[in-house]
Amino acid sequence: MTTFIARRILFALVLLAAVSLFTYLLFALLPTDPAALTCGKNCKPELIAANRVRLGYDKPIYEQYWQFIKGIFAGRTYGSGDIAFTCPAPSLGYSFNQHECVSTLIGKTFPVTAFLSLGAFILWMLLGVGTGTFAALHRGKWQDRLTSVVTSIGVSLPTFYVGLLVLFSVVIWLQWLPFPHYASPTENLHDFLTAMILPWITLAVLSAASYTRLTRNGVLEAMNEDFVRFGVAKGLKNRTVIRRYVLRAALIPIVTIAGLDFAALLGGAIVTESVFSLPGMGRLAIRSVTDSDLPVLVGTTLVAAVFIVMANTIVDIVYGVLDPRVRVK
């Protein structure tokens, strides 16, 4: 098991290095001058040239990339003399549009996305796995057919439509909740829960629909396996068979998809954050696109990619725990 985990971690580190290289090159090779985007339309050529030197865009691409990687581990200083400033490690660049280090901007917005992702993930796993198991145990009955209809509707609806529908129904029409105004849970727990409950429900309902289908199919397939029949023949209670044997086998493919979905949410739930005006990484990424803020765009893209790679690694390790045959392969 130790060798298996070590191989997966080593592969993840190599993949992260490759992701950082291609992400940086993708934006560095765009047909735009990043230095020209640091000031307005009336920016003088002398100022653009000075900013190009100040931000290191006058150097070759390979040297720019090395300075970028070095800044992640050791921080980075821009300019020299009295006008010099430093972005501490991990430095992902500097945004002249917002006059802050990119890592600082991500640090401010990431907790919002993390709270949104974690809450939605817990809800959709509980709903999806629970409802899918319930439907499988009532296969062919009205409970199963009703679940199938509901999940078909849930899979078909886009996120922005459900978000706007929930917002209009609960906040504007029924007036059960005030309009969401995000606050940190350490500052105002009531405002935090009020702002997050509707986004949690929106993401959970949509994602739970597909997880219900996956769980139902996985449980039905596992119930036909020989080891499950053997457990029933031994006289084990149905509850014990479902919990210890059926669910463990059915959760293997679900763990894989859940890890990737959770990582994608951590990268920025763009649509949901925009609908409910949450100041998360998704809105930060959209703002960087509209403002042509390339350093922020590189930073948010790289952070999202890092979470996906990390999720893949964790999923592989959990996969090995659930199914020992994976470790052998």
**Exposure pattern of 190-209 as b/e (b: 16+ CB <10 Å)?**
ebbebbbbbbbbbbbbbbbb
The three-state secondary structure class of 18 is helix
Q: Which phi and psi angles does 76 have, rounded to 5°?
A: -145, 140
User: What is the H or E stretch that residue 311 is in?
Assistant: helix 294-322
Q: Write down the pTM of the prediction.
A: 0.82
Which residues partner with 78 through β-bridges? 85
How confident is the prediction along the chain (329 residues), in pLDDT tens digits per residue? 777 778 888 888 898 888 888 888 887 777 777 777 777 666 778 777 877 887 778 888 888 889 888 988 888 888 777 777 888 888 888 888 888 899 999 999 989 988 998 899 999 889 988 898 888 888 888 888 888 888 888 888 888 888 888 888 888 888 888 887 888 888 888 889 888 999 998 888 888 888 888 888 888 888 777 777 777 777 777 777 777 777 777 777 787 788 778 877 776 677 888 888 888 888 888 888 877 788 888 888 888 888 888 887 887 777 767 666 655 55
The three-state secondary structure class of 300 is helix
Do 251 and 322 contact (CB within 8 A), yes or no? yes
pLDDT computed for residue 325 by the predictor = 60
pLDDT computed for residue 20 by the predictor = 87
Residues 6 or more apart from 202 whose CB is under 8 A from it?
A: 120, 159, 162, 163, 166, 272, 275, 276
The three-state secondary structure class of 291 is coil
Strand-pair category, 94-95 with 85-87 = unpaired
pLDDT computed for residue 152 by the predictor = 86
pLDDT computed for residue 104 by the predictor = 92
Distance between CA 246 and CA 263 in Å, rounded? 26
pLDDT computed for residue 105 by the predictor = 92
Distance between CA 48 and CA 35 in Å, rounded? 6
Nearest residue to 68 (alpha-carbon basis) of 301, 311, 264: 301
Q: Give the alpha-carbon dihedral of 184, 188, 190, 194, to 10 degrees.
A: -30
Can you tell me which residue has the tokens 């149905």? Answer: 238
**In order of start, what are the domains of the chain with their CATH numbers?**
2-102 (no CATH), 104-328 (1.10.3720.10)
The three-state secondary structure class of 55 is coil
pLDDT computed for residue 327 by the predictor = 56
Render 190-241 in DSSP notation, one character per residue: HHHHHHHHHHHHHHHHHHHHHHHHHHHHHHHHHHTSHHHHHHHHTT--HHHH
Q: Give the alpha-carbon dihedral of 224, 225, 231, 232, to 10 degrees.
A: 20
Do 268 and 280 contact (CB within 8 A), yes or no? yes
Do 280 and 269 contact (CB within 8 A), yes or no? yes
pLDDT computed for residue 324 by the predictor = 63
